[in-house]
Amino acid sequence: MTVTMRSGAHGIATKRSVSVLDIIEWAFQREKVGIDFDEIERETGAKPGVGMEYILMEQARLGCRVQGGGTSSAHHDADIVASTLAVLPESCGGRRMAIWIAELARSGRAPEWRSELQVRPRATATNRHGTRARTSDALELGSVGWPHQARRKRNGSIAMEPVLYSPIEIRPTAREIASMRRGYLQWWSALLEIKSALQISHLTSHVVTNVMPPSAPWKKTA
């Protein structure tokens, strides 16, 4: 969808409607902008974290935009995207979140919120025959293990031998899955903040819509 706006004697100017994720990926993939946190302070006199609204008002007052920090001449809107990420509030993750969002955008990825369950040995041993799972005495498992078993040796004597098993682990753990989902939710919340800021920014060629990635994709039902 596109939005048209009259531009006086210059006729009709067309703006492209995009989601916040689309414009961020466009800025970092196609326009190849970078984030220069120090440039925010140089241009506006404000330190990152003072609030997006203040930075945007300063941009409007100065009649200019904060450069995104790229070495080449990037599109005006791409620079706005970069500068918006550079002033991401600490409540939304600050600089570390901004860098993470940019890294994900460059590769066209979203944060991992799930992973295929894997069953693997807790420890392995490698020799000339290859790599194998380490074994342990099942007696160590206590009431759920197996006691040593009697085996008659060639000379007729009885030997008590351990029952061996391979300890395994299942990954990711419930704690790891919860951590992945928290990270996704923090990323999504930061995008929501960026969306609101870009919707009131001085974008020349784009209109940022309310379209957002799923807030909790793991809640989808088949």
Residues 108 and 101 sit within 8 Å (Cβ to Cβ): no
Residue 170: the pLDDT is 86
Residue 184: the pLDDT is 96
Q: How confident is the model over 16-25, as a mean pLDDT?
A: 96
The DSSP bridge pattern shows strands 158-161 and 206-208 to be unpaired
Considering the chain, what percentage of its residues have pLDDT values greater than 70?
Answer: 78
Helix or strand run (H / E) with residue 62: helix 52-62
**Given a cut of 90, is residue 191 above it in pLDDT?**
yes
Read off the pLDDT of residues 126-166 as tens digits, 9 standing for 90 and up. 988 888 888 888 888 888 788 888 888 888 888 888 888 88
Q: How confident is the model over 64-88, as a mean pLDDT?
A: 74
Helices 37-44 & 76-86 angle (0-180, nearest 10): 100
**Given a cut of 70, is residue 2 above it in pLDDT?**
no
Read off the pLDDT of residues 93-128 as tens digits, 9 standing for 90 and up. 999 999 999 999 999 999 998 878 888 888 888 988
Q: Hey, how many other C-beta atoms are within 10 angstroms of the C-beta on 99?
A: 16
**Given a cut of 70, is residue 88 above it in pLDDT?**
yes
Q: What gap in Å lies between CA 34 and CA 90, rounded to an integer?
A: 19
Residue 138: the pLDDT is 86
Model confidence at 187, in pLDDT bands (50, 70, 90)? very high
What is the rounded (10 degree) CA torsion for 52, 55, 57, 58? Answer: 180
